[in-house]
């Protein structure tokens, strides 16, 4: 589980980019919250916006505190299968990377989300 947050101009884009990177690292559950505050710092943020941020982050904290076990979704499993196929076909980035995949036994039956 990972949390990606951003504030300021382009906050939603920044949170989305962080979320994409974490997904590609294999993180199964990612919570994001991005909001444009239209202020230079927290002290200059309008109180209405601060209240909105507080409500949404409280809700997000409750969701996170449920502490459910994160399991990989179908998209993550499919992406792993694609990357695995690329490694088997020698389309990987380097021989060292393929050796790492072999060492982890991911080219055979093992999967990163199964211990």
Report pLDDT for 1.
56
Report pLDDT for 7.
59
**115: nearest Cα among 99, 104, 103, 107:** 104
Q: State the residue for tokens 């200059």.
A: 44
Assess if residue 7 is contained within a domain.
yes
H runs (alpha helix) in 1-113:
11-24, 47-65, 74-88, 95-104
Q: Are residues 78 and 60 part of one domain?
A: no
Looking at residues 1-20, what average pLDDT do you find?
73
Report pLDDT for 105.
94
Give how many domains the chain has, as a whole number. 2
Q: How far apart are the first and last CA of the chain?
A: 17
Q: Are residues 61 and 84 part of one domain?
A: no
* pLDDT over 60 at 16, yes or no: yes
Parent domain of 93: 74-104
Report pLDDT for 101.
94
Q: For 68-109, write each residue's pLDDT tens digit.
A: 888 899 999 999 999 999 999 999 889 999 999 999 999 998
Q: For 44-60, write each residue's pLDDT tens digit.
A: 889 999 999 999 999 99
Assess if residue 32 is contained within a domain.
yes
Q: Are residues 56 and 25 part of one domain?
A: yes
Instruction: Kindly give, in sequence order, each residue whose CB lies less than 8 Å from that of residue 70, ignoring residues fewer than 6 positions away.
Output: 1, 27, 28, 29
């Amino acid at each position: 589980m990972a949390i990606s947050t951003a504030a300021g101009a382009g906050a939603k884009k920044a949170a989305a980019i962080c979320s994409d990177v974490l997904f590609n690292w294999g993180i199964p559950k990612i919570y994001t919250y991005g909001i444009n505050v239209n202020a230079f710092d927290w002290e200059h943020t309008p109180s209405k916006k601060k209240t909105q941020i507080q409500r949404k982050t409280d809700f997000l904290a409750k969701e996170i505190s449920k502490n459910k076990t994160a399991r990989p979704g179908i998209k993550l499993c499919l992406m792993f299968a694609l990357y695995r196929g690329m490694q088997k076909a020698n389309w990987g980035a380097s021989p060292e990377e393929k050796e790492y995949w072999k060492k982890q036994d991911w080219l055979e039956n093992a999967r990163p989300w199964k211990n």
